């Protein structure tokens, strides 16, 4: 048989193969023989060949419970240590009673501690006398206190409540507390409130009064040298109600590891401020407190966005930006009260929870305090920086009843402030509904562009006799979610985010393809006009877009007309005229839409290489009764003809409007009087309109 003193053997019984290998490798420095297995029954079979050994036993095995394994250990000289993924005092004491030499939690420090624990256990095998004394002590404790007591690796305190004095402490407890023997602690009459704070003691006693069960707590215990240890304690009040028993063991390393993990999870590592997860938690707690105290309680979330901060990282370096962020964090902490929370929420954004507001008017004071943070320059690497910030405000309970909603609404308010170029904005529910709707439309438009979920209707342009001389293409969005969406509901949004270019290219392609189809079917060729936005006109590849669509559809350039607004041309007049000249040379017609409502210079108008002016319908609709509209319409027609342009009047709905314009020599007409915009299949081959009302 093998002898543990002559040839130590360590059995590693761990069902996780990777961890089994790590344990084997970690204890290899001890030069002991090892036997590794992932099954308990296999380990018991192999242990039959040994009188003495040390078993590192996983608490949970796939084929046998740890209790059953211990009961079947073949020799009393085979020692065992329990290894577990979680800590529990009752379980620990239970296995100590069954003879375990230690109870190890498999935390982050587990592998580092293991060699020292093994050496201690193997070098401290109790003699028969020690075993007998321990057994007698255990019997005595069981009979008098009905709890688990003396064990070599668990500290035990007995405390008398009436005089708040430690009655006894076991040997391992003395080691934890830093004393040499029990006489020393009794001689000094060390009071419990020196070992555990009096405030904590009062809470424990309060919880234990009128209770019979064991109280499990993680507490800080003060050692003789005044240092503090975290201990997992099992506390029970004894029958005479004047004594308590505390079973404890050191979990300081585990707590330190937890604190490190907690710091990584819940705090920003640069500024040491709470991150968004912890901030959300604080806000939710504030909501719960407000609900319990008074429904009239209010508090505020202020979302802070630094202005153009990314430029600093681009121009200088991230280290400079980090230095400034740390200074901002420090200043923000200095302006809040104890119960408030400052968070670095994300990148260059901060959030502050201002609790217990007396009234909504307090918000203005807080906003001014935040802005004061940026009234003084910041310094990084001997460079002075003048920084600014924009804030958004949400209030509980007006702007939400959950942390997520309040924070999101404060951020929306901040975004609106930036968009409007103001320093602060309060959340507005109606405005938010519009923002949310626009955001949803943007996302839906992205899919619509990919799937080309747009249809084109065509409104005829006619002469006085009602004969078709051309068409204007008008887009409609057939949304899967919203049905038919009018242009005015999505075109401004598409222009704002740049998707208008893709949308106009789709309309251009469909219009050219339809016109070519009409021509191929034998219809008389006419021009189709497509509206082009100022944003599209400004793009450097605008001309290439037009040429590509003509090439794809096979339509000759002479049958395409492009309509621009006069304000769109005026935005970048020199570049616009250059591009229109190129279109003119390609044979593409150009017209100015909504003429009279924009900013065209009459002096420059004669230089525009255009073919047609369109009188805006706002002037046409009040003809022939409004004198000003009559004068403007006449002036536009005369001006256009003098410059060699044709004139189209749009928005005609009545016969008297048509007659007036005809009498003043307008060239072409467009409006509901002749036809609404219709799908291509509903356009007759020869559309004529009777001139009777």
Tell me what pLDDT residue 557 has. 95
Q: Given the structure tokens 């929306």, which residue do they identify?
A: 412
Highest mean pLDDT among 19-28, 243-252, 278-287: 278-287
Averaged pLDDT for residues 623-629? 87
Strand partners, 554: none
CA distance 539 to 502: 12
**Structure confidence at residue 145 (pLDDT):** 40
Strand ranges inside 143-227, DSSP E: 155-160, 165-169, 215-222
Long-range contact list for 268-272, CB < 8 A, 24+ apart? 268/343, 268/344, 270/322, 270/325, 270/326, 270/344, 271/325, 271/326, 271/329, 271/344, 272/329
- CA dist list (Å): 149 to 172, 223, 342, 443, 604: 12, 21, 47, 67, 102
Catalogue the long-range contacts made by 615-621 (C-beta closer than 8 Å, 24 or more residues apart). 615/647, 615/648, 615/649, 615/650, 615/666, 616/650, 616/651, 617/650, 617/651, 617/671, 618/651, 620/649, 620/650, 620/651, 620/652, 620/657, 620/661, 620/671, 621/651, 621/653, 621/657
Phi, psi of 479 (to 5 degrees): -80, 135
**Encoding tokens for residue 272?**
């040491």
Average pLDDT estimate for 106-132 = 71
Q: How far is CA 121 from CA 4, 78, 244, in A?
A: 12, 12, 30
Are 56 and 106 within 8 A, CB to CB? no
User: Tell me, what's the pLDDT at 86?
Assistant: 67
Query: Per-residue pLDDT tens for 585-607?
Result: 999 999 998 776 654 555 567 77
- The residues with which 11 forms a beta bridge, in sequence order, are 35, 55
Beta bridge partners of 483: 479
72: pLDDT strictly greater than 80: yes
What does the pLDDT look like over 535-566, one tens digit per residue?
999 999 999 999 999 999 999 999 999 999 88
What are the tokens at 652? 């005609």
pLDDT grade for 185, boundaries at 50, 70 and 90:
low
| CA–CA gap between residue 538 and residue 251 (Å, rounded) | 68
pLDDT at 376: 93
Dihedral (C-alpha) 85, 86, 91, 97: value to the nearest 10 degrees? 60
**pLDDT confidence bin for 342, thresholds 50/70/90:** very high
Predicted confidence at residue 240, as pLDDT, reads 66
Q: Model confidence over 359-402: pLDDT tens digits?
A: 777 888 899 999 999 999 999 988 999 999 999 999 998 899 89
Distance CA 60, CA 63 (A): 9
- Domains of the chain plus CATH, in order, are 9-125 (3.40.50.2300), 129-257 (3.30.450.20), 267-427 (3.30.70.270), 453-682 (3.20.20.450)
SS3 170: coil
pLDDT at 587: 94
The pLDDT of residue 220: 86
Average pLDDT, the chain: 84
* Cβ neighbour number for residue 485 with a 10 Å cutoff: 21
Q: pLDDT at residue 264 above 50?
A: yes
Model confidence pLDDT, tens digit, residues 487-537:
888 998 898 888 999 999 999 999 999 999 999 988 889 999 999 999 999
The DSSP line for 610-631 is: -SEEEE-HHHHTTTTT-HHHHH
Q: What digits encode the pLDDT tens for the residues 428-483?
A: 877 667 767 777 888 899 999 999 999 999 999 999 888 899 999 999 998 888 88
Residue with tokens 């004068």: 631
d(Cα 107, Cα 91) in Å, to the nearest integer?
Answer: 17
412 contacts 435 by C-beta, under 8 angstroms: yes
Q: Check residue 688 and give its pLDDT.
A: 38
What is the structure's pLDDT at 602?
A: 58
For 391, phi then psi, to 5°, come to -120, 150
pLDDT digits 0-9 by tens, 406-424: 999 999 999 989 888 899 9
Q: What is the pLDDT of residues 121-140, one digit of tens each?
A: 887 654 344 444 444 544 44
Q: What pLDDT is attached to residue 188?
A: 57
Least confident of 84-98, 285-299, 420-434, 655-669: 84-98
What's the confidence (pLDDT) of residue 36?
92
**pLDDT > 90: percent of the chain:** 40
660 and 630 Cβ atoms separated by less than 8 Å: yes
DSSP string, 533-551: -HHHHHSTTHHHHHHHHHH
Please tell me which residue, 206 or 590, carries the higher pLDDT value. 590
Q: Distance between CA 302 and CA 352 in Å, rounded?
A: 5
């Amino acid at each position: 048989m093998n002898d543990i003193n002559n040839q130590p053997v360590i059995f590693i019984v761990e069902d996780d193969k990777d961890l089994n290998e790590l344990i084997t490798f970690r204890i290899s420095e001890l030069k002991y023989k090892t036997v590794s297995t992932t099954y308990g029954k296999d380990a018991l079979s192999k242990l039959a060949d040994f009188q003495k050994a040390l078993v590192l036993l996983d608490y949970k095995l796939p084929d046998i419970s740890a209790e059953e394994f211990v009961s079947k250990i073949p020799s009393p000289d085979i020692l065992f240590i329990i290894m577990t993924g979680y800590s529990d005092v009752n379980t620990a004491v239970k296995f100590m009673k069954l003879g375990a030499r230690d109870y190890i939690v498999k935390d982050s420090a587990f592998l580092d501690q293991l060699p020292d624990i093994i050496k201690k256990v193997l070098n401290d095998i109790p003699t028969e006398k020690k075993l007998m004394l321990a057994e007698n002590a255990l019997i005595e404790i069981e009979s008098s206190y009905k709890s688990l007591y003396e064990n070599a690796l668990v500290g035990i305190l007995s405390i008398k409540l009436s005089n708040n004095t430690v009655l006894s402490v076991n040997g391992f407890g003395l080691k934890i507390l830093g004393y040499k023997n029990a006489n020393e602690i009794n001689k000094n009459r060390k009071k419990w409130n020196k070992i555990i704070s009096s405030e904590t003691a009062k809470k424990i006693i309060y919880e234990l009064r009128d209770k019979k069960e064991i109280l499990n707590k993680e507490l800080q215990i003060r050692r003789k040298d005044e240092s503090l240890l975290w201990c997992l304690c099992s506390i029970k009040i004894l029958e005479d109600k004047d004594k308590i028993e505390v079973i404890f063991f050191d979990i300081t390393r585990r707590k330190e590891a937890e604190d490190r993990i907690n710091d990584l999870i819940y705090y920003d590592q640069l500024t040491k401020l709470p991150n968004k997860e912890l901030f959300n938690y604080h806000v939710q707690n504030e909501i719960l407190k407000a609900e319990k105290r008074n429904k009239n309680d209010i508090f505020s979330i202020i979302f802070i966005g630094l202005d153009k901060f990314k430029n600093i990282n681009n121009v200088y370096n991230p280290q400079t930006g980090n230095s400034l962020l740390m200074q901002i964090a420090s200043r923000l902490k200095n302006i809040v009260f104890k119960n408030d929370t400052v968070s670095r929420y994300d990148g260059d954004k901060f959030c502050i929870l201002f609790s217990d507001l007396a009234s909504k008017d307090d918000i203005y004071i807080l906003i001014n305090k935040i802005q004061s943070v940026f009234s003084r320059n910041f310094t990084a690497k001997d460079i002075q920086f003048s920084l600014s910030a924009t804030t958004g405000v949400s209030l509980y309970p007006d702007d939400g009843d959950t942390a997520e909603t309040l924070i999101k609404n404060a951020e929306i308010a901040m975004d609106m402030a930036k968009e409007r170029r103001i320093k602060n904005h309060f959340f507005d529910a109606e405005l938010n509904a519009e923002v949310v709707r626009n955001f949803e439309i943007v996302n839906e438009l992205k899919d619509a562009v990919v799937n080309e979920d747009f249809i084109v209707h065509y409104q005829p342009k006619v002469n006085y006799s009602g004969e078709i001389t051309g068409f204007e293409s008008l887009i409609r969005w057939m949304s899967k979610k919203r049905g038919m969406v009018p242009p005015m509901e999505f075109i401004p949004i598409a222009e704002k985010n740049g998707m208008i270019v893709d949308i106009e290219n789709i309309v251009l392609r469909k219009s050219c393809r339809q016109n070519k189809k009409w021509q191929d079917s034998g219809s008389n060729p006419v021009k189709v006009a497509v509206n082009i936005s100022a944003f599209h006109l400004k793009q450097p590849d605008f001309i290439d877009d037009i040429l590509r669509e003509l090439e794809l559809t096979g339509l000759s350039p002479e049958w395409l007309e492009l309509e621009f607004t006069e304000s769109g041309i005026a935005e970048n007049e020199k570049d616009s005229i250059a591009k229109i000249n190129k279109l003119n040379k390609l044979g593409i017609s150009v017209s100015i839409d909504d003429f009279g409502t924009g900013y065209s210079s009459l002096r420059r108008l004669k230089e525009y290489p255009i073919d047609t002016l369109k009188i805006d319908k706002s002037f046409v609709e009040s003809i022939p009764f409004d004198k000003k509209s009559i004068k403007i319409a006449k002036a536009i027609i005369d001006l256009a003809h003098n410059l060699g342009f044709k004139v189209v009047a749009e928005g005609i709905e009545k016969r008297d409007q048509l007659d007036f314009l005809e009498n003043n020599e307008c060239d072409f007409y467009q409006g509901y009087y002749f036809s609404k915009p219709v799908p291509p299949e509903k356009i007759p081959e020869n559309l004529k309109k009777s001139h009777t009302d």
